[in-house]
Amino acid sequence: MAINTSGFGAYDIRGIYPDSINQELAYRVGRVFPEIFNAKKVAVGHDIRLSGPTIFDALARGLTEADCDVFDIGQCGTEMIYFATGFHDFDGGIMITASHNPKEYNGMKFVRKGVRPVSPKTGLLDIKAAVENETRDWSFRKATGTVYRIDIQPDYIKRLLSYVDIKNLKPLKVVINSGNGSAGPIINELEKFLPFEIIKVHNNGNGYFPNGVPNPLLPDARHETAKAVIDNGAVCGIAFDGDFDRCFLFDEQGSFIEGYYMVGLLAEAFLKKNRGEKIIHDPRAIWNTIDIAETFGGTPIMCRSGHNYMKDTLRAENAIYGGEMASHHYFRDFYFCDSGMIPWLLILELLSNTDQTLSQLMADRIAKYPVSGEINTKVPSVDKVKEIMLKIEKIYGAAGKVNYVDGLSVDFPTWRFNLRGSQTEPYIRLNVESRGDKALMENKRDELLAIIRA
């Protein structure tokens, strides 16, 4: 039968179940993954979505028929697949998830041996081509691999806790909103070892997402966390997306903190303990991160956005930490992978060792380097993105310092901007920042948007 591969994207497979993500696709992926990556042992898990177990069964059947053993870690977050693959030195890992997408979606994320990402250049297109091959015999074969159920949670929790000095943590009150995703069981387990008073919001997993899509990047998805922080007098709020590979931060006043400033906070947290280390950051907004890294004796290194690029650069530079303003945070001692659980632990350790509130810590940084936040404009085609970029470069490039690390960045002495096309959606994305001049940032933001949207 013909297979629908429209869900293959820049980094993973993602689509609506059962239209583009279904048992047939999962089975075929399972059949071809071991031969493409020479895999004999693969970790597999799924998030809270209702179709997860069904997709798991089909994927596991394909893997075992391809003479591959499956190590089932059950319901989990994406980072737990990374951990399982690295900790047990498996040949690969597959996470069944659609992250922050609505409930009708599902998908798959992949890593190969060494917990290295699978990108279009390192096997994703090979999976797609093999799955589409209708000359291949896809008929049932006797399984020669075995499915093993393993519990990685104790070792995973131990690794998370290794990032903080528990003795020096204060009994802070914190709100944590799991969004009815997969984070709840991990929060419950971490709570046993930490002195924090945790106010839990939507902590029980529910694949119907009865309280809305777990995507705190959407302003409509933030108000419950913010309200709970204020109502309970918490020092901060944490909210997760569905597979908790990202966490989002709120200060004690319930204000949402841009991911960009979280990168600076985490850079500070690491460099206070590890002076001289390298910090990787993306090109969208940079001055705050560079300032903090250099102030605390670190070396900032710019890298193109996207988890494949960030992880590869982290490895190449042996950097201790890397962060993107989209709230993906990467850690050398977590197999150079991203985690949504490690950041909030580090932030609360930082708060335990200061007399300032989170809003006070942020106020200075926000005033020093005001940013627009990422502003998306929908475009009809990739060609239109290129046309807009060329137009903007022609207007601003001659007077500023231009680089093309990720899209178009132009720096001036007192302000800068980055303009880039989305890897996964028909959008052009703008970020503007200035040196201590919010009015200038807003003026340039509006000026650029007028040109882009014309």
Query: Under a CB-based contact definition with an 8 Å cutoff, are residues 183 and 240 in contact?
Result: yes
User: Can you say whether the dihedral through the CA atoms of 141, 144, 150, 155 is positive or negative?
Assistant: negative
Nearby residues of 271 by Cβ (< 8 Å), 6 or more positions away = 277, 279, 292, 293, 296, 297, 298
Question: 105-112 and 375-378: which strand pairing?
Answer: unpaired
**Which one is catalytic: 6, 20, 51, 99?**
99
Give helix 358-368 / helix 341-352 axis angle, nearest 10°: 100
The single-letter DSSP state of residue 333 is: G
Cα separation values, 267 from 254, 279, 363, 398, 443, Å: 23, 7, 17, 33, 30
Question: How many Å from the N-terminal Cα to the C-terminal Cα in the chain?
Answer: 46
Host H or E run for residue 81 = helix 78-87
Cβ-in-10-Å burial (0-12, 13-18, 19+) of 364 comes to exposed
Catalytic residue flag (residue 99): yes
80/157 Cα distance (integer angstroms): 10
Rg (CA), the chain: 22
224/385 Cα distance (integer angstroms): 36
Catalytic residues: 99
